[in-house]
Amino acid sequence: MPRRLIFFLVATVLFTNAFIPTPSLAAEVLVVADTQLRPATEIISGIRKSLGSSLKIISPEEAKRGLNSALEREGARVVVALGKEALTEALMLPSSIPVIFDMVVTPPAISRPNTTGFYLATPVREYTELIRKHLHSIRQFAVVGSRDQLSLLSRGDAPQPVYYTVRNTAEFVSAIRRLEDADAILLLPDSAVLTTAALDEAYLLSFRKGIPLLGVSERNVKEGALVALVVDMVNVGRLIGSAAAKALKGVDIGQFPPSPPRKFDIYLNTATARRMKINLPDEMVRIAKRVYP
């Protein structure tokens, strides 16, 4: 065969293949998430580390246009919903589809079978353990939050904390104002209670009384709280990936109740510690993810 003809045939094949769409590989897990949010991208990276199967990511907006259609198009068998919008859409899927959720502060009441998930709020016992290990000057601390959050986040906790139930910002500020005997005050992550104005008042009272605030987030520590335990998002992603792998093997994930995080990052404010005359051990400072100011 002449060399010129061989060259022509090879070029034709390459040109044709370049313009013929190849079928995409099916994704076994469909993740509904806003990837503009850093927590979502960190969780997804953790899912990839432990899943061992292919996944496809779509936005909540795409899910609203037809999550069931996206499932059929991808051939996915498990849905991971990150955030309230994503979860709302996922809960409308047939119950034969396993749904795993996260990026909610506390788990919503869900009656749908074949559904489980993880939530972001830090259990009180994690602070109890942190204080026991590192903050020996704090002998007793108060916990302030809504009834539902106190019920969820104080399960299995030691009797050390004193609990204060509040329903709104006025009751929250009033509780902080009344507290005198506690060595620290732990705030639970209720956005309806912890408004900007309420937190500003809490910081003011905290410094005036010399009683440090604990929680809720890195931002709160930057603003004046002593310490916060914040969920490690990549680790949560690993847990979700493991749960999705079980679901792909036919395990009924609905038998597992929603779970709190298992690994946390520590954020510290050394200026607050100095002002409150609280000793922060070198080991605690060393393991902190970030120290302010």
Question: Which tens digits make up the pLDDT trace of 187-234?
Answer: 999 999 999 999 999 999 999 999 999 999 999 999 999 999 999 999
Residue 20 pLDDT grade (very low, low, confident, very high; cuts 50, 70, 90)? very low
**Structure token pair of residue 226:** 């002593």
CATH of domain 29-120+232-255: 3.40.50.2300
Q: Which residues contact 28 (CB under 8 A, 6 or more apart)?
A: 53, 54, 55, 75, 76, 77, 78, 248
Q: Which CATH architecture has domain 124-231+264-292?
A: 3-Layer(aba) Sandwich (3.40)
The rounded mean pLDDT for the chain is: 92
Report pLDDT for 182: 96
Assess whether pLDDT exceeds 50 at residue 58: yes
Instruction: Pinpoint the residues of the chain covered by CATH 3.40.50.2300.
Output: 29-120+232-255, 124-231+264-292
Mean pLDDT is lowest, of 19-33, 89-103, 125-139, for 19-33
What is the average pLDDT across 133-149?
A: 96
pLDDT at 263 (0 to 100):
98
- Among candidates 121, 126, 114, 53, which has minimal Cα distance to 81? 114
